[in-house]
Structure 1
Amino acid sequence: MVRRRIHPRRWTPPRLADPGATGTLRVARRLPTGGHGPEDVVFDRRGRILCGLADGRIVRLDPAGGEPTVLADTGGRPLGLHPCADGSVLVCDHDRGLLKAHPDGTVEQLAAVPFASNVVQAADGTIWFTASTTAWTLDDHLGDVFEHSCTGRLFRRDTDGAVTTVLDGLKFANGLVLAPDESHLLIAETTGYRIRRHWLTGPRAGSTEILVENLAGFPDNMSLGGDGLLWVGIAAPRDALLDRLLPLPGVLRTLLWNLPAAIRPKAVPIAWAMAFTLDGAPVHDLRAADGSYGFVTSAASHDGTVVLGSLTESDVAIVHISL
């Protein structure tokens, strides 16, 4: 099979300086989703877990156990979710863009943006959402990792339905969090190994800065925990070979990309979540390499319960933390 061609961009990543884990994760329980690939996990106001599955369904899980409840079917591939006060759920769907799943199960399309990734809503109804890349799809997202296309975007959808591109050129824009006082947004740039802050109010409104940089892994979805911490799912550790090749002529990455999948670099199977203060200070770096769970694409915390979601697992994991 001929693999799709990449168009590599050169970038010099920061030198990897991994301080190591501050604690470990242990899967205490698994919550079956009734499907596969709970890519984003979020808690609703009642402490129930919401996630979207590869077959298009949005399901709700009780942390105590029991059968999943199907809330809606997007007809696409739901990724990031945001529960609303009225019982509806905002959905970033890879295939259909920004959606709203209503309490009666009907689904409304709000913006047709490909590879919509994560979403939040302000008190006045303004919606902010990311799109990871214009160059690749979810199935071949590794192409963007090798290419480093820098085509991620941040959008704003106003209450009148107008959609505006706020930021572009992002390095695989992913997780999105709105600060409790709505003064700024936090944006994960997966292939930039960093988290940005984009100011919405105050003297720096409209400006963007780096909050956390030189992460040792690929940050994915993010959530604000009840503990006030920014929880980040880390999909995989950085690859040393890829880091060495990124600053070099693109032909080397092209050669690597065209190798058979069995011998190309691949994600290390690790369960990994981090937590930071909203000022970017690290609080937790929690890892488990025992193979019990892997490719963590989201982490969320509520009332002391930490859950993980994954693009490649079928269950949501409730984890025990040892510090």
Structure 2
Amino acid sequence: MAEIKTLAGNMTFTECPRWHEGRWWFSDFYTHAIYSMKSDGSDLKKEVDVPAQPSGLGWLPDGRLIFVSMKDRKVMAREADGSLSVHADVSSYVTGHPNDMVVGPDGVAYLGNFGFDLMGGAPPATANLLRIAPDGSVKIAAEGLHFPNGSVITPDGRMLIVDESFGNRTSAFDITSDGLGPRRDWAVFGPIPKQAQDRNYVPDGCGLDAEGALWIADAGGGRVCRVREGGEILETIEPGTGVFACMLGGEDGRDLIMCCAPDFYEHKRSASKEAELRVVRVKVPRAGWP
């Protein structure tokens, strides 16, 4: 197995890593900020303070950063002068914290949400997946998903793939001119669970490679797996702790970065700095978005 290296530590709970213009970008939930760093972990700097907790992020065609502000249920934009504006208010469309988001080359963003009060211990409920146009207008793109989470868009821009963390599955949608086609299975890891212990894979953050496989973080299993469409697991990497997101990047696209932490519980992660970003070299480079 290739060597796993630590790029950054002393974080609370990192999520949504992105490779952009020669740097890694990521959110850290409980330091309430978005950071970037060079491919080797050096030159770590805070990019944006997000008091209401950051999550998914991406870039519009004009170069502006947009990002999720979870607890006030908005997608924010960083303007050219560094000021912040509301790109989209999604509060009337979500039933839990908005979370991971993918932004395509046309500036259209797809945003998932928890669907229920995860940290408060509410029973799981299904959620909507939102489509946010480049002008910030919002519409429901899909309904009835089981915690829509990490998402990618294929290189041809024609398919969206979405992890359903509480559904034992990863789903796919054809991208149309103004929305999404019907949901279909991309990978199924088991039946839709009736209770938490029935989840045998908890697909969280993910990244697409040039052979069409997905690296998917298993939030319940402390591993990242390279998965082929249909659900076959091709490779598994276990970093020795919990892992909640992953993404391919680096100068040649073959660095697999992993967002690691002991667990995802807010009261524990916000009280300590045990999260790390770790990286391992893989054979097949990245593809698609993000």
Is this a same-fold pair by TM over 0.5? yes
Which structure 2 residue ranges, 5 or more long, are not aligned?
91-95, 191-199, 264-273, 284-290
Which structure 1 residue ranges, 5 or more long, are not aligned?
1-23, 238-269
Determine the structure 1 residue equivalent to 2:225: 274
Note the aligned Cα RMSD (angstroms). 2.8
TM-score by length of 2: 0.76
For the residue of structure 1 that corresponds to 2:220, the secondary structure is: strand
Q: Which has the higher strand share?
A: 2
Contact 1:155 1:164 in 2 (8 A): yes
In structure 2, relative to structure 1, the CA distance for the partners of 1:57 and 1:191 (3 Å cut) is same
Determine the structure 1 residue equivalent to 2:275: 314
Quick check: 1:37 aligned with 2:13? yes
Determine the structure 2 residue equivalent to 1:287: 237
Contact 1:225 1:300 in 2 (8 A): no
Q: Higher relative contact order by CA 8 Å / sep ≥ 6: 1 or 2?
A: 1
Amino acid at match of 2:278: A
Corresponding residue to 2:170 among 180, 195, 209? 195
Quick check: 1:111 aligned with 2:92? no
The total of aligned residue pairs comes to: 252
Deviation of 1:149 after TM superposition, in Å, equals: 1.6
Corresponding residue to 1:70 among 36, 46, 57? 46
Corresponding residue to 1:136 among 67, 92, 117? 117
Determine the structure 2 residue equivalent to 1:13: none
- Looking at structure 1, the residues matched to 114 and 152 of structure 2 have their Cα atoms a distance apart, in angstroms, of 15
Provide Cα deviations, 1:281-322, integer angstroms capped at 9, x if missing partner. Answer: 64633132xxx6422111112232111013554220113569
Aligned residue runs from structure 1 range 1-323, under 5 A? 26-27=3-4, 29-32=5-8, 35-46=11-22, 48-53=23-28, 54-84=30-60, 86-96=62-72, 97-102=74-79, 104-113=81-90, 114-133=96-115, 135-137=116-118, 139-140=119-120, 143=121, 147-150=123-126, 152-201=127-176, 206-214=181-189, 216-225=200-209, 228-237=212-221, 270=222, 272-277=223-228, 279-280=229-230, 282=232, 284-288=234-238, 293-302=240-249, 303-310=253-260, 312=263, 313-319=274-280
After superposing on structure 2, the runs of 4+ consecutive aligned residues of structure 1 that deviate more than 6 Å are: none
Contact 2:150 2:163 in 1 (8 A): yes
In structure 2, relative to structure 1, the CA distance for the partners of 1:81 and 1:229 (3 Å cut) is farther
Deviation of 1:72 after TM superposition, in Å, equals: 0.7
Q: Which has the higher helix share?
A: 1
Amino acid at match of 2:83: T
- Looking at structure 2, the residues matched to 305 and 205 of structure 1 have their Cα atoms a distance apart, in angstroms, of 31
For the residue of structure 1 that corresponds to 2:166, the secondary structure is: helix
